[in-house]
Every structure is written in structure tokens, then in C-alpha cells.
Amino acid sequence: MLTNKLIAARAGLAALVAAGTLATTLPAAQAEGTVNIYSYRQPFLIKPLLDAFTEKTGIATEVLFLDKGLEDRIAAEGSNSPADVILTVDIGRLMNAKEKSITQPVEDETVNSEIPSEFRDPEGHWFGVTTRGRVVYASKERVEQDTITYEELADPKWKGKICMRSGQHNYNIALFASMIAHHGEEKAEEWMKGLKANLARKPSGNDRAQAQAIYAGECDLGIGNTYYVGLMINNEKEPEQKDWAASMKVLFPNSKDRGTHVNISGMAMAKHAPNRDNALELMRFLGSAEAQSIYAETNYEYPVLPGATVSETVQSFGQIKPDSLPLAEIAKNRKAASEMVDRVGLDDGPAS
């Protein structure tokens, strides 16, 4: 019977703690000097930026990190939503937010002067703050060539040598959407079939896992984002990742013609932002030289601010020439790309 008392005591204690928790976690919708951020970007990634912002402006930040359904949550909350600013990766998600009518247009000279027009929505519904290239990781040992094109990934000479993460992942969907934009659906599908035939294994894991697979000798080429390489090279806690990165080189595809496919991480102002002025302050800050250099140095991303410096690690990969096709054009083909991945059965791997 002692256990019963114990359980009862614990329940009582829990209820007390809960009452406290509930009281302190009510949504702080409108507070003087606060900005509420709904973010698809990881907290540890944006924390240095937000700390710098608070130090500079005195405006406190509240972050809500979500992995899925951010747009749906803001839409459901409606006019009572506490969200001021939306932070996310992937052009598709930014456009999706605009389409769902959860953003509002921002016309601000400062923001517009910081962010080049190719990285923002013509109506001001979203702004890119960093870019990253979707590049080819190639084994130093087993791959001799130092240039490559996306088209070449379908060449039978790479049969059984390519690794990648799921074709349905945002980053790959955007890459395939850019292939559709450049070559049309029919040709892009032929290409995707060729790519599938060249896979070494079923698409799985994340971008870093592809580097690990090259190190392990499972494949010679991997598809991944630029900043992962920076993170691996400088990983002091798991030094074996330095070995993974050291076993491969970064090839910027199509640098001799149209350029490498880049995607953005970006920001948007929520439609019913209760703290509009503070939100605007934050948006101006994220485009500023100070914030742009933090992005570059801590996360190895490319800043969008003209003239901002790239981290030394990233410079060591070589010069990136971004594909000049407008991102909005690419994003239009996302649904077609996603359906193509199903049709081709890319995620079933090479055997099927």
C-alpha cells in the first residue's frame, strides 16, 4: 500500500508543478519589446543571431521551433496568432507560406537594400537571408575528375557509385525542380531514371550520411549541401567526421555553364504579427552585415548581402557560381518534381 501513497503523492506534486507550468507558458502574444518567431530553423543555429539582435536593440526574442506543420499552425491560429516572424529553409516552404496567406508584404528600404532582388519575393512576402549550394561530394581516392555536371549523374559510367538522401526531401525536390525548369519534364524524367540506375543503395539518411558512405567506400559520389562539409571539417566533438570530410572533395556542378543549384533559408512577416515594428527590426537585422557574417561563420552558409565575407572553410571548397534561374521559377515545379520521384521510384533504389 506504500506504493499507492507514493503514487498519490507524486500525482499531487505533479499537479502542483503543472499548475505552475501552465501559468508560465501561456502564449506571450503582445509584450512590449518582444518579437515572436516561428522557426523551421534549429534553435542552436539562430541563437547567436538572436542574442546579437537583443544586445543591439533591447528587443527580446521568443522562439518556437517546429519540424512540420508550421504554416498550418499559423493558419489555424488565425488573427489571434502570436507569430511575428517566420524563419525557414527552402524556397518551397517560403512560397507555400505566401500561398497559404499567412504572410504580409514588407516594403522596407533597408531590407530591400540588403537583400538582392533575386533572393526576395517581388511583393515582399518573403526574403532569403542565406544561400547554400547543392553540390556533389566526390571521393578523393576514387574520382579523378575535378568538374562535374548534374546531367552527368545519369551517365552509366557512374553505375552503382552514387549515394543520396531521400528524393522526397526538400533539398532534393528543389534540385529536381530546377532540372525540370531547365530541361522540361520529359527530359528531367529520363535523367532521373538514369540517376536511379546509378545509385549504389536505396536513398536514406541525411546529407552527412552520404559523406560517411563515401568514406566507407560504399559509393564514390554523394549529393549534399555545402554547409555540411564545413560542419564536418570543424567537428571537434566527433573527430571521425573530420576523416569523412577529408576523404572527399566538393565539386560545384555546372560551374562551367549555368551554375550550381542553390537554395535559400529565409524569413517572412506573419500576416497578423502583433509586434509588427519589432518584427521589422529583426528582419532588418538579419540582412545586416553583422548577422550575415554570423550566418557565414557559424553555419558555413553563403550570405546574401553583397560584399559579405564567406567563412574560410567554405572558401577552401572553391568558388561557387550560383544558377541564375529565379528561385520562384524553380519552386513552381516542386509538385511535379515530387510526383516524378514517385513515378520513377527513385526512393526504391537501383534494384527495382
Partner 1 sequence: MTLQPAPTAPLREHRFPRVRGERHRAARLGSLIIALAVMLPVATILFVALSGTGEAWPHLLRYVLPQSLGTTLILLGLVAMGTAFIGVGSAWLVVGYEFPLRRLLSWALVLPLAVPTYLAAYAFGEFFHYVGPVQTALRAVFGFESARDYWFPDIRSTWGAALVVTSVTFPYVYLTARVVFLMQGRNIADVARTLGARPARVFFRILLPVARPAIVAGLALVMMETLNDIGAVEYLGVRTLTLSVYATWLNRGSLEGAAQIASVMLVIVFLLLTAEQWARRKQRFHSARGTQMHVRPPRLPLRGFKGILATGALGLPILSGFGIPLFVFVRYVSKRLYQFADPQVLQAFLTSVTVASITAIATVVIALLLLNAMRLSRSPYTMALVRLASIGYALPGTILGLGLLLSLAAIDNTVDSAARTYGGFSTGLLLTGTAASIVIACTIRFLALAESAVRSGLEKLPPNLDQAARSLGKTANQSALAVLLPLLKPAILTAAILVFVDTVKELSATILLRPFGFRTLATHVYENASRGVVEDGAVAALLIIATAIVPVVLLSRPLMRDHNT
Kindly identify the residues of this chain, within the stretch 32-91, that bind partner 1 according to CB under 8 A: 36, 42-45, 62-69, 72-73, 76-82
Long-range contact pairs involving 69-76 (C-beta distance under 8 Å, separation at least 24): 70/38, 70/39, 70/40, 71/96, 71/97, 71/100, 71/102, 73/38, 74/38, 74/102, 74/270, 74/271, 75/100, 75/101, 75/102
Would you say the C-alpha torsion 309, 315, 318, 324 has a positive or negative sign? negative
User: What grid cell was written down for 171?
Assistant: 533539398
108 lies in the binding site for partner 1 (CB under 8 A): no
Nearest to 292 by CA among 111, 24, 23, 143: 111
Strand partners, 225: 134
Contacts (CB under 8 A) with partner 1, residues 256-315: none
342 lies in the binding site for partner 1 (CB under 8 A): yes
124 lies in the binding site for partner 1 (CB under 8 A): no
Stretch that binds partner 1, among 119-127, 187-195, 202-210, 288-296 (CB under 8 A): 202-210
Residue 283: is it exposed, middle or buried by C-beta count within 10 angstroms (0-12/13-18/19+)? buried
Q: What is the dihedral of CA 245, 247, 250, 251, to 10 degrees?
A: -160
127 φ/ψ angles, rounded to the nearest 5 degrees: -135, 135
Stretch that binds partner 1, among 6-14, 51-59, 112-120, 280-288 (CB under 8 A): 6-14
Q: Which is nearer to partner 1, 240 or 312 (CB)?
A: 240
Nearest to 127 by CA among 346, 304, 306: 304
With CB under 8 A as the contact rule, the residue among 151, 218, 290, 329 that binds partner 1 is 218
Q: State the binding string over 220-259 for partner 1 (x if CB under 8 A, else -).
A: --------x--x-----xx-x-------------------
User: What grid cell was written down for 207?
Assistant: 546529407
Q: Which is nearer to partner 1, 230 or 254 (CB)?
A: 230
Q: 3-state DSSP call for residue 315?
A: helix
Size of the site for partner 1 (CB under 8 A): 73
Stretch that binds partner 1, among 112-120, 287-295, 310-318, 341-349 (CB under 8 A): 341-349
Q: Which is nearer to partner 1, 229 or 305 (CB)?
A: 229
Stretch that binds partner 1, among 51-59, 287-295, 319-327, 344-352 (CB under 8 A): 344-352
Tell me how far apart the alpha carbons of residues 69 and 262 are, in angstroms, rounded to a whole number: 24
- The least CB distance from residue 256 to partner 1, in Å, is 31
328 lies in the binding site for partner 1 (CB under 8 A): no
User: What grid cell was written down for 239?
Assistant: 573527430
Contacts (CB under 8 A) with partner 1, residues 169-188: 170, 173
With CB under 8 A as the contact rule, the residue among 15, 51, 147, 246 that binds partner 1 is 15
Q: How many CA atoms lie within 13 A of 47 on its CB side?
A: 5
With CB under 8 A as the contact rule, the residue among 52, 197, 209, 233 that binds partner 1 is 209
Helix axes 334-344, 170-198, angle to 10 degrees: 30
Q: Which is nearer to partner 1, 312 or 339 (CB)?
A: 339
152 lies in the binding site for partner 1 (CB under 8 A): no
Q: Which is nearer to partner 1, 41 or 249 (CB)?
A: 41
For the chain, how many residues are written?
352
With CB under 8 A as the contact rule, the residue among 6, 9, 246, 289 that binds partner 1 is 6
- The least CB distance from residue 149 to partner 1, in Å, is 25
Q: How many CB atoms are located within 10 Å of the residue 74 CB?
A: 23
Q: Which is nearer to partner 1, 16 or 289 (CB)?
A: 16
Q: Which is nearer to partner 1, 69 or 116 (CB)?
A: 69
With CB under 8 A as the contact rule, the residue among 54, 96, 110, 293 that binds partner 1 is 96
